[in-house]
Amino acid sequence: MRGASARGVIAVTGTLVVALAGAWPGMLAADIPKELYDGVGLSPDASPRDLYDAITKRYLDPKQGAGKGQYAELWQPIPMSKYFDPHSFYEPPATVKEVVGREDCTDCHKDETPGWVRAWKGSVHANLDEIRALQPADPRYYKKAKLETVERNLRSMGKLGVTENLREVGCIDCHANVNTKQKIDHRKDLRLPTAEVCGTCHLQEFAERESERDTAVWPQDQWPKGRPSHALDYHANVETGIWAGMAQREIAEGCTACHHNQNKCDTCHTRHTFSVAEARKPEACATCHNGIDHNNIESYQLSKHGSVYAMHGHDWNWEVPLKDALARSGQTAPTCQLCHMEYQGKFGHNVVRKVRWANYPSVPGIAENIDSDWSKQRLEAWVKTCTQCHAERFARSYLDLIDKATLQGLAKFKEARAVVEKLHKDGLLPGQKTNRPAPPAPEKDGTLQFFQLFWAEGNNPTAVEYEGTAMGENELSKLHVGVAHVNPNGWTYSQGWQSLVRAYARIMDYDTQIRERAAMKVARLEAGKRYSLFEPDSGAKKASLGGLGSLMLVAGGLMLWRSRRRKD
């Protein structure tokens, strides 16, 4: 009887799970691009379990971007690597031998790492009952439905009973297995959570982020499919030849410290609070989106948008969902998230569906896309974004300004690039034939190459090459970022155009000086071939005899000095 009863319960449970799973897809499909379903071979009415399994299978597939990439033999890890790519490099600590339960984690770590415990105790993960008790007037009320969605998802995966509620999301759930283990052995079970671990509960967000692989598709394959994006940023990182090949591993891992969104979610949602309100603020993007080649946060902060945020952002209600931010939070200017996470009126974790320039206008073929139907469709999506606050005519005028200013900067760079390439073709770069070591494998030598910003030896790169590479990779990008983020000085004086002009002037100076020296050398060589001491040309003979006389005078002086020294 017990066996029969058990089978009956299982059958009923299975029916309920299917019924509950069936309630999910319509709601789930609304914010996930159809391209993702096509990419993983599912229909939008797939169950949460099927969707999770399909996305995770692709996510963990080395052939589709997981792991150490094609330069794995060159990518030598350092101790920090395990935290950037846990799947490839993390191993549980052998020195921690305890087998512990749920309560033991916080009891121990409140002394060992009190910051972790304090952050977790203040998080939603530790206070699910508080979320269940929220009332409609509370701006966080939407989280109640989100929690119910998470529980339906877990039931579909068999990780939560039909009538069971999730009590909390504790250390073991993230660092061992979600809601299935009560005790763990540190030496065997401990893991660092990667994106598919977070996706077990946050399936919609995981799917939205992974859909970047499917929507970042370029008309002429100017970029590989799915790039640039957060979903494949680690893959792009490990397959950048110079970062794989350079001996300075700690420098290379500085790039990985930003390029690991593919592997983890805590670059935006800081552990162990994982605060949504925090992740909605521009500072959440600032750690990575700054600096010499993508000065996004600087340009935003110096725009009118950023100024309004700086003056009034502390009064805005960050608990209100992004979709309601302008209507209910008191927000009066856009943030990074309000612009880049919005697409046709909906908000999600795919931030590349409107990308047209991809931050780097110097990438060959990017500019040629701007007048294509592909680009015009994305432009219309930007018009919808901007008209949340601006008139359509204003929005179109400024978007047109962005394109034309970027093209003007690109034209200046192309002119300078042609000069440097001609110097290289003519063999006139300093040391080109005598002092030009090859870059480390897998890079191959060439001029105006990305590796020349991160590696130097002998005359590789020459100063003129470095200037040209930085002009395209950095100065032109800063011009585009400045104009795209409405920082006037950022594309005219402080950065952008003036910096391009400065680099252009230096390149032209280099070219003139190098070619003048080359011309003088050729003239001297030709003079040496044409004239000799015994040639009948009197002018040449006088010049040759003059040089010979000087040498004889020096030699005579030396002989006289040696003779006097002997006498002394």
Instruction: Respond yes or no: is residue 340 known to be catalytic.
Output: no
Contact 203, 153 (CB under 8 A): yes
| Cα distance between residue 56 and residue 46, in whole Å | 14
Contact 98, 188 (CB under 8 A): no
In DSSP terms, 457 is beta-bridged to 460
- Cα-flanking dihedrals φ and ψ of residue 517, to 5°? -65, -40
Contact 40, 215 (CB under 8 A): no
| Cα distance between residue 163 and residue 16, in whole Å | 10
Within its chain, how far is the Cα of 110 from the centroid? Answer: 34
3-state SS, residue 346:
strand
Cα first-last separation, the chain: 128
Instruction: Respond yes or no: is residue 360 known to be catalytic.
Output: yes
Write the DSSP symbol of residue 303: S
| Cα distance between residue 138 and residue 65, in whole Å | 41
Say which residue the tokens 């001491």 belong to. Answer: 533
Instruction: Respond yes or no: is residue 186 known to be catalytic.
Output: no
| Cα distance between residue 59 and residue 254, in whole Å | 24
Instruction: Respond yes or no: is residue 493 known to be catalytic.
Output: yes
Say which residue the tokens 């990308």 belong to. Answer: 355
Residue type, 346: K
Annotated catalytic residue within 235, 260, 272, 294: 294
270 token code pair: 């800081």
| Cα distance between residue 376 and residue 219, in whole Å | 12
Annotated catalytic residue within 59, 234, 300, 360: 360
Is the backbone of residue 179 left (phi > 0), alpha (psi -120 to 50) or beta?
left
Residue type, 421: E
Instruction: Respond yes or no: is residue 293 known to be catalytic.
Output: yes
Write the DSSP symbol of residue 475: I
4 token code pair: 């029969």
- Cα-flanking dihedrals φ and ψ of residue 339, to 5°? -85, -45
User: Which residues fall within 8 angstroms of residue 222, CB to CB, at 6 or more apart?
Assistant: 363, 364, 365, 366, 369
| Cα distance between residue 440 and residue 447, in whole Å | 15
3-state SS, residue 3:
helix
Annotated catalytic residue within 45, 104, 293, 324: 293
101 sits in which H/E element: strand 99-101
SS3 content of the chain, % helix, strand, coil (to 5): 55, 0, 40
> Which is nearest to 469 in space by CA: 417, 405, 409?
417
Residue type, 247: A
Annotated catalytic residue within 400, 493, 509, 537: 493
For the annotated catalytic residues, the residue numbers are: 259, 293-294, 360, 493
